[in-house]
Amino acid sequence: MVIHDITIPLFPGMVSYPGDPPFQSEPVYSLDKDGYRLSMLSMGSHCGTHLDAPSHCLTGGGSVDRIPLELLIGAARVIEVAVAGSILPDHLIPKGIREGDRILFKTRNSGLLKDPMFQPEYTYLSSEAAEYLAAKKVQLVGIDYLSIDDSTSSAYSSHTILLSGNSAVLEGLDLSEVNEGDYFLVALPLKIRDCDGSPVRAVLIEGMNP
């Protein structure tokens, strides 16, 4: 059994989506003065590798603490799509996506996550591809940059389509060292009451039967 950590580390100066609060860590107590260490953390709810709740984009949508954990634990498929710009249905049809799949898209984005400067020309999921996945009733969609939507659009259509269909949305995955194939996914958020998202620790387990 091999465990792949597909979570990007949190640290001051890491890449963040434009307008989002940056990650900060400030010491509050120290070993020298207080006999123990304790830090104050500050970040946005969509910092680093994170889960979007329906309330992120939908009026009346559920919060992150209400997302069924069954969506976030189980068999998952890493699908490599080596395109620039948008992922389209034509890229997905040959992959044989099935109803109930958990799909993680590995694109050229994974290398971009290591750059502290936000890169707006990342590969994203077109609304047509989101409609295709929603029609398949996939349980989860993940991608290897900070958003599944185009950075130049304010409509957030892919978010809206998938979250409206009760699919979980994972963003900021580091899939650079993971091959296309079948895995077992665990991606659990913090249990933050009434929040629109949360950082997660996401892992893919290779060689584990669901």
Give me 40's structure tokens: 């104050």
Share above pLDDT 90 across residues of the chain, in percent, rounded to a whole number: 91
Nearest to 175 by CA among 98, 78, 92, 90: 78
Region 66-79: what's the mean pLDDT? 98
Q: Give residues with Cβ within 8 angstroms of 174, minimum separation 6.
A: 5, 6, 7, 8, 49, 110, 113, 144
192 or 209, greater pLDDT = 192
2-9+45-206 has which CATH code? 3.50.30.50
Region 4-27: what's the mean pLDDT? 97
pLDDT score at 209: 62
pLDDT score at 208: 78
Domain ranges of the chain: 2-9+45-206
pLDDT score at 210: 56
pLDDT > 60? residue 194: yes
pLDDT score at 191: 98
Region 42-64: what's the mean pLDDT? 96
pLDDT score at 155: 77
* Catalytic positions: 56
How far apart (Å, rounded) are the C-alpha atoms in residues 18 and 136? 32
Region 36-41: what's the mean pLDDT? 98
> What average pLDDT does the structure give for the chain?
96
Which pLDDT tens digit goes with each residue over 146-187? 999 999 887 789 999 999 999 999 999 999 999 999 999 999
Region 105-134: what's the mean pLDDT? 95
How far apart (Å, rounded) are the C-alpha atoms in residues 40 and 121? 33
Region 73-98: what's the mean pLDDT? 96
Give the DSSP per-residue string, 97-117: --TT-EEEEE-GGGGGGG-SS
